[in-house]
């Protein structure tokens, strides 16, 4: 008697065994700890700039826009979110998942990023502040 002969002679037992295996598979599938959309932290850098006393409009036009233009030259930049408020500006840079954010030297190897902020406004000191 070979292996398949017992299943051929007992079709009801074969159907019950198939049903039991299918139910076990469904229960096991539901118990898997795999998520359809896993939580992944993408590489992110937050840049803050301050210009005390500047209005939000001044921050947006003089500081945030200048920095955004410079940051768009960075390779593998995925998204950029910025906000300007009274005396401050915040820019959040989000990169591709393949970017190694722990290696800071990548920023200084970009030829289009200036090393000195020559385009940004500087705060002029009054005589009494010196």
The pLDDT of residue 122 is 61
Positions of the chain with pLDDT under 70:
1, 99-130
pLDDT in tens, 58-82: 889 888 998 898 888 887 888 999 9
pTM (2 decimals)? 0.55
Burial (0-12, 13-18, 19+ Cβ within 10 Å), 64: buried
**Angle subtended at Cα 27 by Cα 25 and Cα 33, rounded to the nearest 5 degrees:** 100
Q: Are strands 77-85 and 44-50 parallel, antiparallel or unpaired?
A: unpaired
The pLDDT of residue 107 is 52
b/e sequence 42-62, b meaning 16+ C-beta within 10 Å: ebebeeebebeebeeebbbeb
H-type helices in 1-130, by residue range? 3-9, 11-30, 56-58, 65-71
Are residues 68 and 38 in contact, defined by beta-carbon separation less than 8 angstroms? no
């Amino acid at each position: 008697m070979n292996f398949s002969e017992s299943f051929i002679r007992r079709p009801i037992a074969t159907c019950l065994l198939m049903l039991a295996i299918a139910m076990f598979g469904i229960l096991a599938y539901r118990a898997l700890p795999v998520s359809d959309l896993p939580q992944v932290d993408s590489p992110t850098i937050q840049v803050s700039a301050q210009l005390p006393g500047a209005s939000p409009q001044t921050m947006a036009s003089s500081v945030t826009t200048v920095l955004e233009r410079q940051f768009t030259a960075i390779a593998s930049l995925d998204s950029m979110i910025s906000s300007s408020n009274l005396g401050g500006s915040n820019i959040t840079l989000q990169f591709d998942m393949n970017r190694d954010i722990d290696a800071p030297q990548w920023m200084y190897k970009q030829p289009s990023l200036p090393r000195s902020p020559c385009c940004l406004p500087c705060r002029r000191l009054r005589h009494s502040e010196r």
